[in-house]
Amino acid sequence: MSRTNPRLFVVDETKFGASLDSALTRRRISQIILYTLLIIGALIALMPMLWMLSASFMPTGEASTYPPHLIPTRITFIHYRELFTRLNLGRYLFNSALIAVVVTGVSLVINSLAGYAFAKLRFRGRDRTFRILSLGLVLPVQVAMLPLFLLMKNLHLINTYWGVIIPGMASIFGIFLIRQYALSIPDDMLDAARIDGASELRIYWSVVVPGILPILATLAIWTFLATWNDFMWPLIVLSDEAHYTLPVALANLSGEHVMDTELMMAGSVLTVIPVLSVFLFLQRYYIQGVMAGSVKG
């Protein structure tokens, strides 16, 4: 019986250690390059917002100098005071907040109910109706503005909050998004609730809503952001300055104070803060919804 030479299985520890160190070094270098590129990209993306914040504290006229200053030579809060005293920006903030909150809350209820119905309830023409409804996703929003304006005019809702709120109370995209997410809820859970005698509204509130909470948070962020930043429809519907939303008021500000860049930047900062606050508050649910949507079929 032949013996195996143990020297054949002796590993050269010096070569193995050198190759391991080389692999770790290449990995560290690749990570450093990757993080450097990510930091540079983040700085490029944040640079306009950082300059906007910096310009809002500059004295009048400094932001228009060439070359532009990145940091104010003297910090002043006069532009923020003028927004609330001379331009009554508090009223515009209230209008935007009221419209955005009502549209977001009502649309979440309507879209989730409709999405649940299209996903789990059985009724005649369900799939056909959903396919016809989905065709609206390819139509530009501007196409519906004229007939929608005429409808609001016939309902005497021009220059009112409801004229801005009602068209945003339901969206085809929101119904489609929740319907696709609600399909992942097991039918056995719904059938068990029906056997226990729960009504459809009870099932919706106790079973469906907890299951679709991440996508509801995602839709809430998108809806609030779109409503808060909406400019075209409020500009068409609203004619009284007391009902103006913040984007419409800022557009008038740019036409009224063409050279007052610092005042416009201060107004832009106040426009960004509520949206950023909502996103940070719902960030955890937003990430859950995005990650769940990436793995669900």
Phi and psi at 244, nearest 5°, equal -60, 145
Average pLDDT on 22-38 reads 86
* Whether 254 contacts 265, CB under 8 Å: no
> What was the pLDDT predicted at 289?
59
The full set of domain ranges for the chain reads 6-56, 78-295
> What was the pLDDT predicted at 297?
44
Question: So what's the architecture of 78-295 in CATH?
Answer: Orthogonal Bundle (1.10)
pLDDT at 7 over 80: no
pLDDT at 241 over 90: no
The residue type at 152: M
pLDDT at 75 over 70: yes
Predicted TM-score (pTM) of the model is 0.78
Model confidence over 97-147: pLDDT tens digits? 999 999 999 999 999 999 999 999 888 888 899 998 888 888 888 888 889
Q: What is the mean pLDDT of the chain?
A: 83
Average pLDDT on 15-23 reads 66
Residue 46 CA to its chain's centroid (Å): 17
> What was the pLDDT predicted at 59?
86
The per-residue b/e assignment along 38-64, b for 16 or more CB within 10 angstroms, e otherwise, is eeeeeeeeeeeeebbebbbbbebebbe
Residue 286 CA to its chain's centroid (Å): 9
pLDDT at 46 over 50: yes
> What was the pLDDT predicted at 227?
94
CA dist 260 → 13, 27, 165 (Å): 71, 50, 32
